[in-house]
Amino acid sequence: MTRILTVTLNPAIDVTYRVAGLAVGETVRVTEVRSRAGGKGVNVAAVARQLGGDSLVLALSGRAEPDEFRAGLDRLGLPHRLVPALAAVRRTVAVVADDGVTTSLQERGTAVAAGTRDEVVAAFRAELAAGVGAVVISGSVPPGLGDEVPARLARLGAEAGVPVIADVSGAALRAAATTGSVLVPNRDELAELSGTRLDVLAAGRRLVRDGAAAVVATLGEEGVVAVTADREFVVRPVEKVVGNPTGAGDAAAAALARHLAAGVSTVDWPAALADVVATSAAAVRCPVAGEVDLEARAGWLDALAVKETA
């Protein structure tokens, strides 16, 4: 089973504005508007499908009808299992200027309805029973749900023998760090979790020692540093890419999940990490999160060098 199950506990309607330039305090004309169902797990599922994989979105959604988020998933052609639990689905706005600078405005989200935690766990168990190759738990946790929920889901995945990627932050990341998941923090998240900014490899080693299956630290223009139980890698991008970085981390998680779900006992880490860097860079080339430039990705895949450091 190679299907990727993505979990989005705090979904969004993602709005992208293209502008010539952003000037605070001034009237700014929007040249293009894109709106779609979003949230990090939705972006992961969309990229996985674009790369030729099979994915399913497990997410919270609004209780009111019509459900704009559900309709958006349908327009994207993404199979889904939704738990109606929110008074409204939040909105995020990415303002992308012509010079490549992106400004993001993100609502926190509304509180969940009573009983949501149990409904999420039940839906997750049902999808595990139906068969999945890998799980990606992404994004923030809405008010009232509990920061421990991603860790609880991650443990259920581990108990079922399914590899789990935890792409969460803050208290949710601290709770998930010892669940046997693959962690994909950015530099700030890694520093908060490990207490140091000085040595990414040392921080990764500590997290693996404390219970992470692996750490794949995404460092933006510097590429990726990865630590597994017995190997360490550094992958640098081939070139600097200008564009919208909003969905780059989600694209990286989608690429990694496809390798974890491949159904083999040992992950080909050099191939997986090259894919992570190429796919995340290809996402920056696209104006909307959840999409990748497949032609650019293919070219970078052939050119990337993966350096093993230990």
Q: State the SS3 of 89-137.
A: CEEEEEEEECCCCEEEEECCCCCECCCHHHHHHHHHHHHHHHCCCEEEE
Q: Return the SS3 of 52.
A: coil
Q: Return the SS3 of 76.
A: helix
- The answer to whether 152 touches 92, Cβ cutoff 8 Å, is no
Task: List the domains of the chain with CATH numbers.
Answer: 4-308 (3.40.1190.20)
Q: State the SS3 of 124-173.
A: HHHHHHHCCCEEEEECCCCCCCCCCHHHHHHHHHHHCCCCEEEECCHHHH
Residues above pLDDT 70, as percent of the chain:
97
**pLDDT tens digits, one per residue of 297-308:** 999 998 998 999
And the tokens for 24?
């605070």
Q: What confidence score (pLDDT) does residue 96 get?
A: 87
- The answer to whether 91 touches 110, Cβ cutoff 8 Å, is no
Q: What confidence score (pLDDT) does residue 264 get?
A: 63
Which residues on adjacent β-strands are paired with residue 186?
A: 218
Q: What confidence score (pLDDT) does residue 184 get?
A: 96
Q: 194 pLDDT exceeds 80?
A: no
**pLDDT tens digits, one per residue of 109-142:** 999 999 999 999 999 999 999 999 999 999 999 9
Q: What confidence score (pLDDT) does residue 243 get?
A: 81
Compute the chain's Rg from CA coordinates: 18
Q: What confidence score (pLDDT) does residue 310 get?
A: 63
**pLDDT tens digits, one per residue of 243-292:** 888 889 999 999 999 999 987 668 999 999 999 999 999 999 988 889 99
Q: 102 pLDDT exceeds 70?
A: yes
Q: What is the mean pLDDT of residues 31-45?
A: 94
And the tokens for 71?
């309709």
Q: What confidence score (pLDDT) does residue 57 get?
A: 98
Q: Return the sign of the alpha-carbon dihedral for residues 238, 242, 245, 251.
A: negative
Give the number of residues written for the chain: 310
Side-chain half-sphere CA neighbours of 34 within 13 A: 15
Q: What confidence score (pLDDT) does residue 241 get?
A: 87
Q: What confidence score (pLDDT) does residue 196 get?
A: 65
Q: Helical H runs in the chain?
A: 40-50, 68-76, 116-130, 149-159, 170-176, 187-194, 200-210, 248-260, 269-284, 294-303
**pLDDT tens digits, one per residue of 217-237:** 999 888 999 999 999 999 998
- The answer to whether 145 touches 15, Cβ cutoff 8 Å, is no
Q: What confidence score (pLDDT) does residue 59 get?
A: 98
Lowest mean pLDDT among 120-124, 144-148, 187-191: 187-191
